């Protein structure tokens, strides 16, 4: 048997995995990163709009700080997030931005003097102070009180990924692409690495490590219409769940991005609306102010997605051969702005829709509608990124660290990937320094032989099921029955139909009998795992009888903090079961810094309060008065309300322009 040993094994070569690898390597560890694709082609590169961090540099960002970023993130999550993790994140994000600048990310910078902008559909002039010339600029994004999203035109993820990849190479990280983890090696509740398949040769081998970190991205490809790359299939999360020890959190929390190009599904960045673009219906009418008079197009993504579909349903959609849609109008920003700050968007619209969005008037309007975009759910971890399986960590979109709760704010995703790579990467590295590889060779041999036999059985199976028929049926079910709007009967049908598909997937007929260079074989072992992920999403959505963030139940329209202020945990303890096991963990309202309240969208009072809300609010009020009477600052108040653990170098105060020396 072929076995490779290392100190730290990282599965996934996007921003989170590579940044964690840098942390581990800087600890002097032997680090191996495994990636399905060359790491610079990881899905992190697809992020266009920007990365949130409360720098407070620009005119429209003045006064921003960690408290405001924290408040926006918690409200954006619809109070589903872990507030301790949110505090860790907002405190570290400004440091991450500056570190990335040191890595070589060419952040768009402030230029002194007047500059044109579009705010609320109107052309305005913003004047930047000369003292701020050259500092990192920020743009507006949905769900935020300040302009907080740092960017490099509309290729932010690309710039970040190349910079972090270069840093990993510079530090001597051993990066191996075209490798796929197909199972986790574990024994007695402890992880020892993974069984890995070489996608070129088909060879199966074992990678044994002191610690293993999953950073395999989201699971959007269980849907038919998604902005996700084809590699975002959720198999990384599935193999963690298949250990029977690791659990998945909040899998029903799936985000649909409001502005996806019709029919290709390619993302039109939130930067389009952040920079002043507007949404129009079939009559050219700007409709979002009617629904959300305060935030309009810059309401949270879940809100904008619902409003678009509601407007289409009211008869205001634009008919097309690919279904009804609405228009995204960025022509009002002007050609100069688009060709400077939204170049990728312009190129995508030209290439895939034959439209130049810089053309004036309706000629430049881009057809869009909501499609699946992001996975808030993932492998459940604690605040240090450690899963229920000792020695297995998880970071980035693959995880339920739980920064995002039930809705992610735009710009918080690539930000989380890097920040989690820093924070969790350091905790992971510390674990690896102290851990020992005490796995027995017979355990390694058992997992190797198990996977070899499984793959051989797929090739020799005399079944009669076509893997692509099953895969496409799954995607259709998820689109039609587990989408933006959900209700009990359709979710019940989805669970039943997906379970039947999962049973059928055990009887596949793989026509191509080669062990290498065989996409059909790869789908044959991936699709059953994708079905497990889809079942976790559908069953979690069925059981959660409330509406929270991106999870919208039309039969249960209120957020129910009394019954559902809790996190869903999905597991698969018995390999023979055909449905996930669900359990729940409560979010402790008595430890929250910000208790659940009106989110700022729709009708006030559209939630059922938690019975302890008033008690915690009274405590918060009392603590606040005590700190203020003592002359305490916002840092002392925050620490009194909700102390949180964070490595000292990340918890250090962030410096901002205008701070007292």
φ, ψ dihedrals at 471, nearest 5°: -60, -45
Q: Which long-range contacts (CB under 8 A, 24 or more apart) does 552-557 make?
A: 552/302, 552/306, 552/484, 552/485, 552/486, 553/486, 553/487, 553/488, 554/485, 554/486, 554/487, 555/487, 555/488, 557/606
CB within 8 A of 605, min separation 6: which ones?
Answer: 598
d(CA 265, CA 198): 30
Structure token pair of residue 147: 């302009």
Handedness of CA 396, 401, 406, 411 (dihedral sign): negative
Kindly state the greatest CA–CA separation across the chain.
Answer: 77
d(CA 572, CA 189): 15
CA nearest to 139, candidates 174, 113, 106, 110:
110
**Under DSSP, is residue 35 helix (H, G, I), strand (E, B) or coil?**
strand
**Under DSSP, is residue 48 helix (H, G, I), strand (E, B) or coil?**
coil
Spell out a b/e string for 4-20, using b for 16 or more CB atoms within 10 Å of the CB, else e.
bebbbbbbbbbbbbbbb
d(CA 69, CA 145): 8
Q: Is-cis flag, bond preceding 452, omega within 30? A: no
Give, as one character, the DSSP assignment of residue 153: T
CB within 8 A of 143, min separation 6: which ones?
Answer: 72, 75, 76, 295, 298, 299, 300, 301, 409, 410
Helix axes 519-543, 441-460, angle to 10 degrees: 100
Structure token pair of residue 37: 């694709």
Instruction: Give the burial class of 275: count Cβ atoms within 10 A of its Cβ; 0-12 exposed, 13-18 middle, 19 or more buried.
Output: buried
Cβ atoms 149, 47 nearer than 8 A: no
Asked about 301 being catalytic, the answer comes back as: yes
CA nearest to 279, candidates 318, 244, 252, 248:
318
**Under DSSP, is residue 383 helix (H, G, I), strand (E, B) or coil?**
coil
- How does DSSP assign 515-542, residue by residue? SSS-HHHHHHHHHHHHHHHHHHHHHHHH
CA nearest to 91, candidates 383, 516, 506, 476:
383
Cβ atoms 556, 577 nearer than 8 A: no
Structure token pair of residue 551: 């999870």
Catalytic-labelled residue, pool 273, 301, 567, 599: 301
Cβ atoms 619, 612 nearer than 8 A: no
Helix axes 634-641, 613-629, angle to 10 degrees: 140
d(CA 82, CA 72): 13
Q: What is the dihedral of CA 117, 410, 52, 123, to 10 degrees?
A: 10
542 C-beta neighbours (distance < 10 Å), count: 22
Task: Cite the DSSP H helix spans in 360-411.
Answer: none
φ, ψ dihedrals at 518, nearest 5°: -135, 85
Q: Which residues carry out catalysis? A: 301
């Amino acid at each position: 048997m072929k076995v490779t040993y290392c100190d730290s094994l990282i599965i996934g070569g996007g921003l989170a995995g590579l940044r964690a690898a840098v942390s581990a390597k800087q600890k002097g560890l032997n680090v191996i990163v495994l990636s399905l694709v060359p790491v610079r082609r990881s899905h992190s590169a697809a992020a266009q709009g920007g990365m949130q961090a409360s720098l407070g540099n620009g005119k429209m960002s003045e006064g921003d700080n960690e408290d405001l970023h924290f408040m926006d993130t918690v409200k954006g999550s619809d109070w589903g997030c872990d507030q301790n993790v949110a505090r860790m994140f907002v405190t570290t994000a400004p440091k991450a931005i500056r570190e990335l600048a040191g890595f070589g990310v060419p952040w768009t910078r402030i230029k002194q003097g007047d500059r044109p902008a579009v705010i609320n559909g109107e052309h305005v002039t913003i004047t930047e102070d000369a003292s701020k010339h050259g500092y990192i600029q920020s743009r507006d994004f949905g769900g935020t009180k300040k302009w907080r999203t740092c960017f490099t035109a509309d290729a932010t993820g690309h710039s970040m990924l190349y910079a972090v990849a270069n840093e990993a190479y510079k530090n001597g990280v051993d990066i191996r692409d075209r490798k796929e983890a197909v199972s986790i090696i574990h024994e007695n509740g402890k992880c020892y690495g993974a069984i890995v398949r070489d996608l070129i040769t088909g060879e199966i081998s074992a990678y044994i490590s002191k610690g293993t970190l999953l950073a395999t991205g989201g699971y959007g490809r269980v849907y038919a219409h998604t902005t996700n790359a084809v590699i975002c299939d959720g198999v990384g999360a599935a193999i963690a769940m298949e250990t029977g020890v690791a659990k998945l959190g909040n899998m029903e929390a799936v985000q649909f991005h409001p502005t996806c190009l019709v029919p290709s599904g390619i993302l039109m960045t939130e930067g389009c609306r952040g920079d002043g673009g507007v949404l129009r219906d079939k009559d050219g009418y700007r409709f979002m102010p009617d629904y959300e008079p305060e935030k309009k197009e810059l309401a949270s993504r879940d809100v904008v997605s619902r409003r678009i579909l509601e407007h289409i349903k009211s008869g205001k959609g634009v008919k097309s051969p690919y279904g009804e849609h609405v228009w995204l109008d960025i022509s009002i920003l002007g050609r100069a702005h688009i060709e400077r700050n939204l170049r990728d968007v312009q190129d995508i619209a030209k290439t895939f829709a034959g439209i130049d969005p810089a053309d004036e008037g309706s000629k430049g309007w881009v057809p869009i509608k909501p499609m699946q975009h992001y996975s808030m759910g993932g492998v459940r971890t604690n605040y240090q990124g450690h899963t229920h399986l000792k020695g297995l960590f998880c970071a980035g979109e693959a995880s339920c660290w739980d920064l995002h709760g039930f809705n992610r704010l735009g710009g918080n995703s690539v930000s989380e990937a890097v920040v989690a790579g820093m924070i969790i990467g350091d905790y992971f590295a510390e674990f690896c320094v102290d851990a020992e590889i005490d796995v027995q060779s017979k355990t390694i041999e058992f997992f190797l032989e198990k996977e070899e036999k499984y793959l051989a059985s797929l090739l020799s199976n005399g079944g009669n099921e076509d893997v692509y028929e099953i895969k496409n049926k799954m995607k259709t079910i998820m689109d039609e029955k587990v989408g933006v709007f959900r209700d009990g009967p359709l979710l019940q049908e989805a669970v039943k139909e997906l379970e039947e598909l999962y049973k059928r997937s055990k009887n596949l007929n793989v026509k191509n009998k080669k062990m290498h260079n065989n996409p059909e074989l790869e789908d044959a072992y991936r699709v059953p795992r994708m079905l497990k992920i889809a079942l976790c999403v559908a069953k979690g959505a069925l059981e959660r009888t409330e509406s929270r963030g991106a999870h919208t139940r039309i039969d249960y329209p209120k957020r129910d903090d009394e019954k559902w202020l809790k996190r869903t945990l999905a597991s698969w303890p018995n390999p023979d079961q055909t449905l996930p096991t669900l359990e729940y963990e409560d979010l402790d309202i008595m430890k929250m810094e910000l208790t659940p309240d009106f989110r700022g969208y729709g009708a006030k009072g559209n939630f059922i309060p938690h019975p302890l809300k008033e008690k915690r609010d009274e405590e918060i009020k009392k603590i606040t008065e005590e700190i203020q009477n003592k002359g305490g600052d916002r840092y002392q108040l925050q620490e009194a309300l909700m102390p949180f653990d964070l490595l000292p170098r990340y918890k250090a105060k962030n410096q901002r322009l205008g701070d007292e020396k």
